Amino acid sequence: MPWFEVVSEDETELSPAEHAFLAALRAHCAAWAPTESSETLIRSDVDGPHTRVIAFVSLIDEGGPGERGVVLMDAGVHLLDNRLQGDRLDSQDFTLPERPSSWALAATGTPDELAAASAVWFRHVLERPIVLYVWIHDGYAYANRYDFADTGEPLCQSYNKRYAPPGQVDELMAAGHVSRTGWVQTTGLPTPTTYIHIRGDLTKGTVLPGVLAATRRGPLSGLWYE
Cβ atoms within 10 A of the Cβ of 90, count? 11
How confident is the model over 156-200, as pLDDT tens digits?
Answer: 999 999 999 999 999 999 999 998 888 999 999 999 999 999 999
Where residue 217 falls among pLDDT bands split at 50, 70, 90?
A: confident
Q: What proportion of the chain, given as a percentage, has pLDDT over 70?
A: 92
How confident is the model over 69-97, as pLDDT tens digits?
Answer: 789 999 999 999 899 999 999 988 889 99
- Tell me which of 92, 109, 127 is where a domain ends: 127
Domain count, the chain: 2
Residue 192 is assigned to a structural domain of this protein: yes
pLDDT of residue 225: 85
Residue 35 is assigned to a structural domain of this protein: yes
- Tell me which of 82, 112, 127 is where a domain ends: 127
Q: What proportion of the chain, given as a percentage, has pLDDT over 90?
A: 65
Range of 204's domain?
130-214
Shared domain check, 154 and 78: no
Residue 182 is assigned to a structural domain of this protein: yes
Shared domain check, 169 and 95: no
Comparing C-alpha atoms, which of 156, 157, 158, 185 is closest to residue 171? 185
- Tell me which of 100, 127, 154 is where a domain ends: 127
Rounded mean pLDDT, 201-221: 90
Residue 49 is assigned to a structural domain of this protein: yes
Higher pLDDT, residue 106 or 223:
106
Shared domain check, 109 and 91: yes
Comparing C-alpha atoms, which of 78, 129, 71 is closest to residue 105? 78
Backbone angles phi, psi at 220, to 5 degrees: -115, 90
Shared domain check, 169 and 156: yes
Quote the distance between the C-alpha of residue 5 and its chain's center.
19
Rounded mean pLDDT, 194-209: 94
Shared domain check, 180 and 123: no
Shared domain check, 136 and 119: no
Where residue 43 falls among pLDDT bands split at 50, 70, 90?
A: confident
Residue 206 is assigned to a structural domain of this protein: yes
Higher pLDDT, residue 217 or 87:
87
Cβ atoms within 10 A of the Cβ of 86, count? 25
Shared domain check, 112 and 18: yes
Shared domain check, 58 and 107: yes
